Structure 1
């Protein structure tokens, strides 16, 4: 019996050592995971974090020659445009033909009654400005009407 009791005592001692060993490994794994999370967070913050969008500053204004656009019902629109450039754009490099083409495309065939409403005209101006921002790839930030005459 003494052997059985001694064997049981030895088994308990071995089990305690195994549990202590698995606890030590678990502790090391948890510490390693915590360190990896901190390193990944620091890497994202310093390397991968998107930079704040650059504030667009207004630059020069380029005035384009007026053009006439045919409207519905035999009427026409005399339209003058000015492009508000960003500071990144060079006025000599900006070609006004894209802006005139977009304006002609947008206003051609419209009814004169729609264009005489200020709210509708402002809406079309915003659409034109959005189209020009896309066409000029960030060189143009706004458009102004320098002439808007219907007949």
Structure 2
């Protein structure tokens, strides 16, 4: 005698017919995965997130001696500068700033330095050179003297 189908015994587990019950297992796995990601992202945000770089704190202002810079056509510019340093910067050498000012202003026409808009553009150009020379220790440059002849 041959048996083709035997009823399951009490200790054996039966498989659900296809299409029934398999979706619940996948859904649970997806929900668990999403929850793990959310908890992980929240933990990173609150505990491991690097602090945003804060703006540098202004420190002392260093006033440099005035210099005379030769302009075009025999004119000159008497230029005085002050440097706003960061809180961490101390005892900087002003020679780099004076050299940068000479580089920016030398040989310009008197009309180029006489107008306010041009002076601000020149200040920005000088600030770029100071940022390179002092590696971010100078926050701002101020004109303390600006006389042309």
Same fold (TM over 0.5): yes
> 2:48 and 2:128 mapped to 1: Cα distance?
30
Aligned to 1:100: 98
Unaligned runs of 5+ in 2: 7-13
Change in 2 beyond 3 A, CA 1:141/1:74: same
Superposition map of 1:2-151 within 5 A: 14-16=15-17, 19-20=20-21, 22-90=22-90, 92=91, 94-151=92-149
* Higher fraction of helix: 1
Q: Which runs of 5+ in 1 are unaligned?
A: 1-5, 8-12
TM-score normalised over the length of structure 2: 0.78
- Secondary structure at the aligned position of 1:16 is classed as coil
Three-state SS of the structure 2 residue aligned to 1:53 is: coil
Compute the displacement of 1:26 (Å): 0.4
Q: What is the SS of the residue equivalent to 1:32?
A: helix
CA RMSD after TM alignment: 2.7
* Superposition misfits of 4+ residues, deviation over 4 angstroms: none
Q: CA deviation at 1:49?
A: 3.0
Cα deviation for residue 129 of structure 1 reads: 2.3
